[in-house]
Amino acid sequence: MTASRRTSVLACIAAALGVAFGPAPSAQGPRAPGRLTTFAAGSPQDLRQWDPLADAMLRSGELRVRQVRDDTQFPGRRVERADQYYRGVRVFGGDISRQMDEHGVVLSMFGNVYTGIGIAPNPAVTADAVKATINQLASLEQGPNNAPELVVLPIDDGASFRLAWRMRAVTDRMDIVQYFLDAESGSLLRQYSDLQTQSSVGRGTGVLGDSKKISVSGAAGNFTARDLLRPPLVETDDMKGDPIRTNDYLNGRVALGATDIAADSDNNWTDGAVTDAHVYSGFTYDYYFKRFGRRGLDNNNIRIRNLVNPVRRTPQDVALYLTSFPDFFVNAFYAGGGIMVYGVGLPPGFTSGGQSWNHLSGAIDVVAHELTHGVTDFSSGLIYRNESGALNEAFSDMMGTSVEFFFQPAGSGDLKADYLCGEDVVKPGGLRSMENPQAYGDPDHYSRRFLGTADNGGVHINSGIANHAFYLAIEGGTNRTSGLAVQGVGAANREQIERVFYRAFTQMLPSNATFALARAATLQAARDLFGANSNAERAVTQAWTAVGVE
Amino acid sequence: MRIVAAAVLAVTIAAPASAQDRQWPERTWVSINGGIQSAGTAFDDAFEVPLYTESERVTVQYPVKGGGLFGAHAGYRIWKRLTIGAGVTRYSRRADAQVQAQLPHPFFDNQFRAVEGTASALRGETAANVLIGWMQPVSDRVRVILTAGPSFINVEQTIVTAVEVAETYPYDTAAFTTASTRREGRTGTGFNAGADVTWMFTRHLGAGGIVQITRARARLAAGNDRTITVDAGGVQAGAGIRFFF
């Protein structure tokens, strides 16, 4: 960041403070030109500029602390996240993350803050009216606990702003959609799928048949898939092929009870979907704890609940439900609140895209991928569209692959660790490659990024750019587009890169992060963890440069 | 065994030919002794306990330390200098058994965690010895009785049956806390041989020493149809009072 640009941004922030302290503008009055201010302050010089402004915004209420968590990688340190508010209304995508030492001294700070908002925070449309509209849009009546939130919605990266009602709703098509309705007119301003998925379409065959331990509870004759050995409750529910009940649960219409918990009479579990979802989610918790000291998705041991068998893996159910509930077959997704849903795949003989699909819970990287969406949800909250959405997906791929390498030997084939995603259950080849994204039609370079609106702005596509950077930082190699070579830290030191990306993605990135911010944050994390000019910093720098992110 | 042999040799050397004709008018003798028993034969035990769908492997080394001894013997001369009698000895001693265990991990196959500790183990032996003896007066005041015969030794032994550990998430290590034990007893059959030397103060009262070896083998039940074979007995040396009448 240059000095002149910093000065310019400071002026914008100051202007924002002035607006905040000034008189409320008229709802009909002219709107001030908005601006998105992004800051990545890692040096003392940058912090001297930014930290006083952040403090001033915290005192004025323009920033409100949402979360304070211990930095599990540095005892004594903590991470503070604060959301931007404009006259008492949260600004969607405006937030900062500050890393502080044990004395409260800010060490680094990353964030996105919008200035020049200048709108009246008084909605003309009531929350009840909004909910009724969203019930119609979702074709499904939302449960009583699902209520809309009034937000300031930046338009075009903060060029203008609208007061909006935001609501995350489950639809009759088994999607989870973020709706934004204009708070003045009630019209739909924006919607996008917030279903944080591992993949999409098609697959088949059964579970891999490997034997493993499963931590359950109960006694002879009545064992249930409730892991009581790990700090959080890890529970796996068998939806017994009932998509309506599954959907109703996700929608808040029904609650799951004791009879929904997967059970077995002799503690010899033969349902592969139950076993793998339960065991691999436990493994993922173990990985996060052992590698980073993190305690579960929210770092506070929130319950992990797996839903398996949402439909039956039969040709009959394919005919009945594939159109209505495609994600119950050929997808896995994080549904919020520590809940994961794993599709059953496709019956033997069925393929999608030339690939067979097994139970999605049969792949450890898929399970870890979905749980990582939960980690993201409770930390950076990367918004699931455009670049932040691609980073959200990429981080899940990175951690999914890292978990795979943590528990499985490197190699190719079933139950071996590699840089393919979902290869154990989607055959042949899996869903994505971190080593060679282009082989799956995904970009390996920022210049090739997808700029369309499909896939929430290419969240599963552009993730290839960050995925490849992660791969190069570990293994090294040459980017196929730029031709730039990277000296990785080596597979034996993969932990370094895992820690760097974990730190950056969970403790530094704001919710509306960009690839450029991800680069800055990972470099800061590398310096934090391994020092300036360390091998890790060099590898991460070269990797981002090789994939065209500066 | 060497001590016993030395004692017999000493008696033989100390008894000149003329003494062979000395009289031993009393028929009954009683000796009461206190002393020590030498360290016995240490033994090992190994067993497995089902845990986390695998087997916990436990090995225990039991030392058998030397300890205090109390004994009483009595005999009756039945023909010339041949005597038969019986004796009882009691020995007990505590020692720390070394316990080691390999515990399966609750989440992962073939990932064992090693723990080790000690368990206080009591060893007690009550021996009933049948004494077939030869009474040999060495001088007017010194008398020797050589004995041998079968022994029945009741062995009491504290046996480790389980290992208690403290383990917390993520369970990659465990700490030994204690061992569950139980007292087991069995009687084994063996032999004894010894020599008793007495210095007579009066016609009926004396003081003396005894050296004796006892040996027997017992099979202790350790649960689940498993037994532990232990060697009991050892070299015993003591001293005490003697009565002749």
CA distances from residue A77 to A50, A72, A107 in whole angstroms, order as listed? 19, 8, 10
Task: Give me the pLDDT at residue B2, please.
Answer: 46
Task: Give me the pLDDT at residue A333, please.
Answer: 96
| Three-state secondary-structure class, residue A116 | coil
Cβ-defined contact of A231 to B107 (cutoff 8 Å): no
Cβ-defined contact of A283 to B107 (cutoff 8 Å): yes
Measured between CA atoms, how close is A230 to chain B, in angstroms? 6
Task: For residue B107, list chain A residues with Cβ-Cβ distance below 8 A.
Answer: 213, 215, 229, 282-283, 286
CA dihedral sign of residues A521, A526, A528, A532: negative
Does residue B75 surpass a pLDDT of 70?
yes
Select the residue of B109, B169, B170 nearest A212 (Cβ to Cβ): B109
The two beta strands, B112-137 and B54-62, are unpaired
Taking Cα atoms as reference points, which of B17, B21, B173, B181 lies closest to residue B97? B181
Most B CBs within 10 Å, among A211, A213, A223, A286, to test the B interface: A213
Span B10-15, average pLDDT:
42
Cβ-defined contact of B109 to A231 (cutoff 8 Å): no
Task: For residue A213, list chain B residues with Cβ-Cβ distance below 8 A.
Answer: 52-53, 106-109
Cβ-defined contact of A283 to B106 (cutoff 8 Å): no
| Three-state secondary-structure class, residue A329 | helix
Chain A, residues 273-312, CB within 8 A of chain B, namely 282-283, 286, 289-290
Taking Cα atoms as reference points, which of A307, A302, A381, A378 lies closest to residue A344? A307
Banded pLDDT at B178 (limits 50, 70, 90): confident
Span B194-201, average pLDDT:
95
Cβ-defined contact of B171 to A213 (cutoff 8 Å): no
- A220 interface with B at CB cutoff 8 Å: no
Span B83-89, average pLDDT:
96
Does residue B20 surpass a pLDDT of 80?
no
Quick one: closest CA in A to B107, which residue?
A: A213
Task: Give me the pLDDT at residue A549, please.
Answer: 98
Task: Give me the pLDDT at residue A174, please.
Answer: 53
Task: Give me the pLDDT at residue A137, please.
Answer: 87
Task: For residue B170, list chain A residues with Cβ-Cβ distance below 8 A.
Answer: 286, 289-290
Cβ-defined contact of B170 to A213 (cutoff 8 Å): no
- CATH code, B205: 2.40.160.20
Task: Give me the pLDDT at residue A73, please.
Answer: 78
Quick one: closest CA in B to A281, which residue?
A: B107
CA distance linking residue B100 with residue B115, whole number of Å: 6
Select the residue of A211, A215, A231 nearest B107 (Cβ to Cβ): A215
**Catalytic: which of A235, A460, A468, A537?**
A460
**Catalytic: which of A235, A370, A393, A404?**
A370
Chain A, residues 195-214, CB within 8 A of chain B, namely 211-213
Measured between CA atoms, how close is A305 to chain B, in angstroms? 18
- Is residue A370 part of the annotated active site? The answer reads yes
CA distances from residue B53 to A87, A262, A416 in whole angstroms, order as listed? 60, 20, 24
- A408 interface with B at CB cutoff 8 Å: no
> Both tokens of residue B10?
């000493």
Select the residue of B52, B53, B170 nearest A286 (Cβ to Cβ): B170
CA distance linking residue A91 with residue A114, whole number of Å: 8
Q: Which residue matches tokens 């998509």?
A: A243
- Is residue A62 part of the annotated active site? The answer reads no
Cβ-defined contact of B170 to A289 (cutoff 8 Å): yes
| Three-state secondary-structure class, residue B169 | coil
| Three-state secondary-structure class, residue A19 | helix
Most A CBs within 10 Å, among B103, B107, B109, B169, to test the A interface: B107
Taking Cα atoms as reference points, which of A352, A14, A321, A336 lies closest to residue A172? A321
CA dihedral sign of residues A382, A383, A387, A391: positive
Average pLDDT, chain B: 88
Q: What angle do CA A111, A113, A117 make, to 5 degrees?
A: 170
DSSP string, A179-243: EEEETTT--EEEEEE--EES--S---------------EEETTEEESEE-SSSS-EEEEE-TT-H
CA distance linking residue A280 with residue A268, whole number of Å: 17
- Full domain range(s) for residue B103: 2-244
Cβ-defined contact of A229 to B52 (cutoff 8 Å): no
Measured between CA atoms, how close is B174 to chain A, in angstroms? 14
Select the residue of B53, B106, B109 nearest A229 (Cβ to Cβ): B106
Select the residue of A211, A213, A290 nearest B170 (Cβ to Cβ): A290
**Residue B196 forms beta bridges with which residues?**
B145, B210
CA distance linking residue A474 with residue A488, whole number of Å: 5
> Both tokens of residue A370?
């979905």
Cβ-defined contact of A213 to B169 (cutoff 8 Å): no
Q: What is the interface size between A and B, counted as CB pairs within 8 Å?
A: 23
Measured between CA atoms, how close is B64 to chain A, in angstroms? 40
**For chain A, how far is it from start to end, CA to CA, in angstroms?**
11
Measured between CA atoms, how close is A229 to chain B, in angstroms? 7
Per the confidence metrics, is the pTM higher than 0.80?
no
ipTM value for the complex = 0.77
Mean pLDDT by 10 residues, chain A (550 residues): 34 42 34 71 83 88 87 84 93 91 88 88 92 87 85 85 90 74 91 55 50 82 82 93 95 86 85 94 97 96 96 96 95 96 96 94 97 97 97 98 98 96 95 97 98 96 98 98 98 98 97 97 97 97 98
Chain A, residues 6-45, CB within 8 A of chain B, namely none
Quick one: closest CA in B to A291, which residue?
A: B170
Please give the tally of structural domains in chain B.
Answer: 1
Cβ-defined contact of B107 to A290 (cutoff 8 Å): no
Taking Cα atoms as reference points, which of A167, A328, A171 lies closest to residue A242? A328
Among chain B, residues having any CB pair with chain A shorter than 8 Å are: 52-53, 106-109, 169-171
